[in-house]
Amino acid sequence: MELQQSFKNALSCWASGVTVVAVRDASGLAYGLTVSSFSSVSMDPLLILVCLNNNNRAPEMITEAGGFAVSVLAKGQEDASNYFARSGREPAAELEVVTEPAKNGHPLVSGASAMLSCTVHDTIVQGTHTIVIGRVDDCQGDGTVDPLIYFRRAYRTVSE
């Protein structure tokens, strides 16, 4: 356990953006979660990846739905991040935060600095997580909005 705590402490020194990965299944239920493990993978084809804990419903729902959406949260969207980070939530017809549908029908957090709609390209189970690789079908970003940053277990923003 000591090594796991040291690992968490070491990774808290890595500043990362804050994203929400969300999915709507065939029955109309939506689910999302806050994710800091997000990265671009390839420009041709356009691929991104997210790492999702297998203890929540997202990996299974995303695999079954065949797609998902990613919202890159903006400065001031800490409440949305905290909502999606809460454990014990169940999929619901409506989410408790303001969302809008992506072109692929999956929920996006309104006001996010960037948004991506993805089709599942591949999934890889590794340890406690599933790496979901998504093919980007649509995206947009607002270069005038500062991102929400997570660093040393606290929200931050960019200051130049």
For the stretch 72-96, pLDDT in tens is: 999 999 999 999 999 889 999 998 8
Task: Specify the pLDDT at position 157.
Answer: 84
Q: How far is CA 92 from CA 32, 37, 61, 72, in A?
A: 10, 24, 12, 22
First to last CA, the chain: 38
Q: For 100-153, write each residue's pLDDT tens digit.
A: 888 899 999 999 999 999 999 999 999 999 999 999 999 999 989 999 999 888
Task: Specify the pLDDT at position 17.
Answer: 92
In 3-state terms, what secondary structure has residue 68? Answer: strand
Query: Is residue 22 within 8 Å of residue 44, measured between CB atoms?
Result: no
CATH fold of the domain at 16-152: Pnp Oxidase; Chain A (2.30.110)
Answer yes or no: pTM beyond 0.75. yes
Rounded Cα gap, residues 93 and 41, in angstroms: 32
Task: Specify the pLDDT at position 8.
Answer: 82
Q: How many helices (H) and strands (E) would you count in the chain?
A: 3, 12
Task: Specify the pLDDT at position 1.
Answer: 67
Q: For 6-17, write each residue's pLDDT tens digit.
A: 888 887 777 889
What are 34's two structure tokens? 């806050």
Query: How would residue 160 be classed by pLDDT, with cut points 50, 70 and 90?
Result: low
Task: Specify the pLDDT at position 30.
Answer: 96
> What are the domain boundaries of the chain?
16-152
Phi/psi region, residue 126 (left: phi>0; alpha: psi -120 to 50; beta: rest), is beta
Task: Specify the pLDDT at position 10.
Answer: 84
Lowest mean pLDDT of 32-36, 47-51, 70-74, 93-97, name the range: 93-97
The answer to whether the bond into 45 is cis (omega within 30° of 0) is yes
